[in-house]
Chains A and B, each alone.
Chain A
Amino acid sequence: MTDWPRIRSVGLSGLLITFAEKMSEPANRAALAFRAAVEAQDWPEVTETSTSLVSTFVQFEVSQDAIAKMTDRLRALLQTRDWFAEALPAGRSLWHVPTVYGTDLAPQLEEAAEAAGLDPDAAIAELSQSRVRVLTIGFAPGQPYMGELAEHWDIPRQQGLTKSVPPGALVVAIRQLIIFTNASPTGWRHIGQTAFRTFRPGSEMPFPLSPGDELIFPSITRQEFERIADDPTGGAEQEALT
């Protein structure tokens, strides 16, 4: 741990604590755990916190003094433990999100399976049992980047973009999965379709998923999908992780 974690200033917005140069499971866990620890400090100056893949962002009203003071506090908090060995924060959920793999609803399953060196049935069997974590939320509200899948799923993004995948699309690349919030062009391959809405403005739970939550995508048939297609929860079940 020579250079890491690093503390850098983010314009006039606050400070960023970065745990690694690249995405890794321990660095992501460290960022999630450190954010929870900052929140628990309840420092009155802090107006907002968030995480990206391997960083924790702490927003506060900056000044030279405030930056110096906050940097000292963050350093002190960083030194209290080995964040790479820290457990994930409490209060997370495990979600089961029913998913149709392949068919006309998700036309790139075969292509993605081939890129991962699997036949389509083996790919479905593996994907439908893989348990992934919300590494970060971004790009669109509530939109999860989940991982990491087994190493053979380290498949590149496509050269050309798919013009549009619908909301609820499950896509794969670089050992990660995304459920799209809104219809969007993407370089990731569309392997499954869920009816799960990741952003529900106006509802009691506008953002069902939080960073650190875990998900499983059990395989369902096209017929089963039609029954849940109009339900914003997409037939998903949520259980508390302790």
Chain B
Amino acid sequence: MSALTILQAGPAMTVQDLGRPGYRALGLTHGGAADPIALHEGAALLNQDPGCAALEMAGSGGQFSADSDTRIALAGAQMQVSIDGEPVAWDASHLLPAGATLTIGGARDGAYGYLHVGGGIDIEPVMGSRSSHLAAGIGQPLASGDSLPISKDSGGETSQTLPRDSRFGAERVRIVASMQTEAFDEETRTRFTNTTFRRDARANRMGARMDHDGDGFATGGQLTIVSEVITPGDIQITGDGAPFVLMCECQTTGGYPRIGTVIPCDLPIVAQAQPGAALRFEFIDLDEALAAETRHRDALAALPKQRQPLLRDPARIRDLLAYQLISGVVSATADPFEEDKT
């Protein structure tokens, strides 16, 4: 079996797939990739199942090599990346030759980058998923020297690319009312949607705190609310009045009131927001939210059709001078039809 070796691990790298549903009643949230869209993108680039496990890299990547020629795809937050020192494109698939060094640097426009391999990472599933869920004690952060088995790749093209998605740097996040929305008076809800928040530096797979200037967003009966079910995307208002968007690895229940919940297809916008990034929350009604979810599902299903051959950027071709670039050059003064006359 082929393996991907981590020569140098970034600070927060884990194996992630689409998560582990079905255990909420027993205290375990769904988990899975912080940005599941990136799993679909990587799978589309490699023409494989979006359920394949990939490497999630929070903030920055690391150095990797594979012991056999391996198809890879890069998705999610754009990171500097090179193979044996030669820069390659993000949002693209590549062939990583056996023994070559893949170097992935810091994230430039988001929070989570993803390294996919053809066939998927094949660590032993725990309760039906390969996702690490560090808050729960499943899996662990990957470390330098770790070697990850790769499933057999059914093969396919590389040097494919997808257009950059609009979720990076987006500000508008759509939310719907949830069970405690009514506990906040109308003035508070209006002020909430009129506020531009900044993603706090303290954010992780469990949740992201939102900063703003001005008063907090308390309910009348804040302290008396009994602990209730949490779903990812819920925006809880903590004791100091600051909103906290609960992410994929959140707790299953909680006692802070929720002002609303981010619709699932917009949660990756929050996940990928960089520290300090501006975010605004906008209530939409149920029908609009369901329509948005349907469009999102259709867009994910259509990702493979968006795949295009990668055009190399001449500025990034290191051995540019070795290419024959001047054949077919014409003289500006010559009569182009003269040749034909002879």
Contacts and interface: CB of A to CB of B under 8 A. Distances in A.
Chains A and B bind each other: yes
Given A11-B261, A181-B137, A141 B25 contact: no
B26 A141 contact: yes
Given A23-B226, A199-B136, A206-B127, A48 B22 contact: yes
Contacts of A137: 25-27, 252
Nearest to B231: A13
A12 B293 contact: yes
Interface string B263-300: 11000000000000000000000110110010000000
Interface centre among B22, B228, B251, B290 (most CB of A within 10 A): B228
B238 to A, nearest CB: 15
A182 interface: yes
B227 interface: yes
Contacts of A13: 231, 261
B27 A143 contact: yes
Given A9-B179, A201-B127, A202-B126, A139 B23 contact: no
Contacts of A10: 178-179, 229, 231, 261
Interface string A192-211: 00000001011000110011
A130 interface: no
Given A12-B293, A13-B231, A21-B226, A48 B179 contact: no
Contact of A52 (B28, B229, B234, B293): B229
Given A11-B176, A207-B23, A53 B227 contact: yes
B132 to A, nearest CB: 11
B172 interface: no
Contacts of A54: 226
A138 interface: yes
Interface of B: 21-28, 126-127, 135-138, 176-179, 224, 226-229, 231, 233-234, 251-254, 260-261, 263-264, 286-287, 289-290, 293
18 contacts: A10-B231, A11-B176, A11-B263, A12-B263, A12-B264, A23-B226, A52-B253, A57-B229, A63-B290, A138-B27, A138-B251, A138-B252, A141-B26, A181-B136, A199-B28, A201-B127, A201-B136, A210-B26
**Top 7 closest A-B pairs, CB basis?**
A11-B261, A50-B25, A138-B253, A141-B28, A8-B179, A207-B26, A137-B27
